[in-house]
Every structure is written in structure tokens, then in C-alpha cells.
Amino acid sequence: MSVNNTANWIYKKGEDDNIVLYSKISIYRNIDDIRFFHNMDKEDFKNTENILKSNIEELNLNLSYKKLINIPALNIRMLIENLTIPSNKNIVHASLFTDEDEDISLLINSNEHLEIQTIARGLELENCFNKAYEIESALDQKIDFAYDKKFGFLTSSPNIIGTAMRAEVCVAVPCLAWKTPDNIDYIISECNKKGLEVNVKNGLLNISNNIMIGVTEKFILDTIIEKVKEISEKEKKIRNRIKKLDRVKAEDRIYRSHAVLLSARSLKYRELINYSLWLRLGIYYDIIENINLDTIYYMAFVGKNAHLKHLYEKSNYYRNIDEIRANVIRDILKNSYFIKLISTLYLKLKFIP
């Protein structure tokens, strides 16, 4: 984790990252001849842990190791908010390997024997897959994973049998939602026809594969990438059209959003995300000064409940979490050059030969 326990991957620029917030790959595997998660006993958990831990360590990936049961509850929630582990985790027997940036995480004994996850800012789905698949392939040479010639990789959840891989991309389309809301319904319908699931929350589209059996990993990746690029092009076209034909209304939304975030004394998370989407548009139009995408990403993560509680866990000054969020966001925007400095220093230090 980096500043205020946000994950470092949010500072690593990716393709089309004004519109595509992040790409994520999750690969699920189970060890052959060991019962699935919900039927495991203590001996099974111990064997699974020992087999996976020793083989992962032999890969020399420079990962840190933790037993989730030994991590404070607030820190667990921050890992969930950083998208490092899923929210539906079982922590009693689970352990976690992560790298320094939290863009690689390997979760043991939580729903499945092993979940390999990679995440990146922007449209980097293929890179995420290549990174995750390289780890899976290395482990597959050492461990017999449960596999059936007819059905594919076997899992405790029937929904992920087959490729046992979930690909997810999060997309911000404020202008499509504003000017052509029917387009969102059309996008959802078209994605569903392709076997993709779309969840709409806080003005964001989360697109993932709904089908894992009877398809290849390449098909899943190609389908999602094609759809995301299509959505991104639609958003860009309408942004450019608005800039020519309805610039004043767009700028009004951008500057109002900036003003609210700079002045609000109480702020819900969904409001933060909604206003941040308009700041993204302001950056796209190059009309917002002293704010870059690093600042927007930082606000989106540090503005989540567990991160805020960690920042102010010993403070009794604020009455509720919305007041804390408003104060933190005001401070970030008033000192946004510090975020630029943090991200610049991080990248320089990271890549010094």
C-alpha cells in the first residue's frame, strides 16, 4: 500500500484511463483430490495452504504473505476497497500473497483453493491476463489442478466452471448517460447478447463475462475489449460533439462539480464519484487546472469508508463519515499538487535503474 493505504497501481497510467478506470482478471483454481471449499475440513485447509504456499514462494515473485485472520478488520476492509481481495471473502482459513503495488494478489482458501488476481489502471485487460496466466502456468507445472476434459476447470461455484476466469472492466461514461441515457440500456442489451454482464453503479459501468463454460479465454478477452473500445469511442464522440454544440452546459457541470467538492461539508461516496466523473471530463477538455487523473483516482479510493476511518480513527471531531469525506476531499483538491508530486516521485523511484 502507498499513501494513506491506497494501492500503488492507481498511479501507473494505462491505456484510455480517462474513460476506462481499471481492468481486472481473476483466475480460480482448485487442487485435484482435495475437496472443494464448502466441504473441506481442517486437514484439507492445512494441506491446501502448504501446497500452494510452498509452490508460490518457489516462483520468487517478491510477494508478501499474510494470514487474513491476523489482519485487523479495518485493514481487511481497506484491502477490499483497494480491490485487492473480493468482498465475499472467507477469512478464517484464508491467506494472501500480494506484491508491493497490489496489482498482483493470490488468495488461498477463500471460496476456491486459489484465486489469482491482476489489476491495472485503464484498458489493460490483455496485460492483466498475461500476468495472471504466467503465474497460473508456472503453478500448473507443479500442481495438479482439478480439470475435466468436457467441462474445463472445476470449481466449488458452478457459475465459474470452464475457463474459471472472470475478466472485468470499469468504464466511466458521463456524457453518454447525460445526453443519451437510452444508449446505456442499449449497451447493456448488446453486452448481454454477447454473454457479458453489466452492472451500473455510481455512474460507472462494470462489464464482465457472464459465461465461462464452452468458451476460450481469448474469446472472453476479445469480446470484452471489443465492447469496451466501442463504448469508449461512443463516449469520446459525444464528448467532442458536446464541446462544439453545448460547451457552456458541459462546463457548467464541470465547474459546479469542482465547486461542490471544494466546498461541501458533508459528502456521500456516490456523490464523490458522480462529481469526479465531471472532473474527468474537465481534464479531457483541458479546462481544469492543478488536477490530473492521479488526483481523481486517489480521491476515489481514499474517499471510501474504511480508508476514511483509518485516517480519522482516533478523532472525535466529526460526527459521521460523510463529514470526514467532505473534509478529506476539500484538502486533496486544495493541495492537489501534492498528489502530482507523490505520483511523479513514485514513478521515478520505481523505475530508477
How many domains, in total, are found in the chain?
2
Residue whose grid cell is 494472501? 96
Q: CA nearest 23: which of 11, 15, 31?
A: 15
Question: Would you tell me how many other CB atoms lie within 10 Å of the CB of residue 188?
Answer: 17
Same domain, 123 and 207: yes
Same domain, 217 and 261: no
Measured between alpha carbons, how far is 14 from 22 in angstroms, rounded to an integer? 8
Q: Which of 210, 238, 266 is the last residue of a domain?
A: 238
Backbone phi and psi for residue 216, each to the nearest 5 degrees, phi listed first: -100, 165
What is the domain range of residue 135? 3-238
Residues of each annotated binding site for ATP: 22-26, 166-170, 194-199
Same domain, 102 and 162: yes
pLDDT one-digit tens code per residue, 268-299: 999 999 999 999 999 999 999 889 999 999 99
- CATH code of the domain containing 116: 3.30.590.10
Measured between alpha carbons, how far is 21 from 285 in angstroms, rounded to an integer? 18
Same domain, 169 and 258: no
Report, as ranges of residue numbers, the positions in the chain whose pLDDT lies below 70.
1-4, 314-318, 336-353
Hey, which bits of 164-288 come out as E strands? Answer: 165-172, 196-201, 204-209
Same domain, 33 and 109: yes
Q: Which of 215, 238, 261 is the last residue of a domain?
A: 238
Residue 279 and residue 291 in contact, taking contact as beta carbons nearer than 8 Å: yes
Compute the chain's Rg from CA coordinates.
Answer: 21
Residue 260 three-state SS: helix
Same domain, 76 and 147: yes
Same domain, 121 and 263: no
pLDDT at 66: 95
pLDDT at 319: 72
pLDDT at 350: 57
Same domain, 230 and 257: no
pLDDT one-digit tens code per residue, 6-62: 999 999 999 999 999 999 999 999 999 999 999 999 999 999 999 999 999 999 999
Residues of each annotated binding site: 22-26, 166-170, 194-199
Same domain, 259 and 111: no
Same domain, 314 and 212: no
pLDDT at 316: 62
CA separation (Å) from 347 to 9, 83, 120, 123, 352?
11, 21, 15, 19, 9
Q: Which of 238, 257, 277 is the last residue of a domain?
A: 238
Same domain, 190 and 120: yes
pLDDT at 1: 47
Same domain, 163 and 312: no
What is the pTM (predicted TM-score) of this model?
A: 0.91
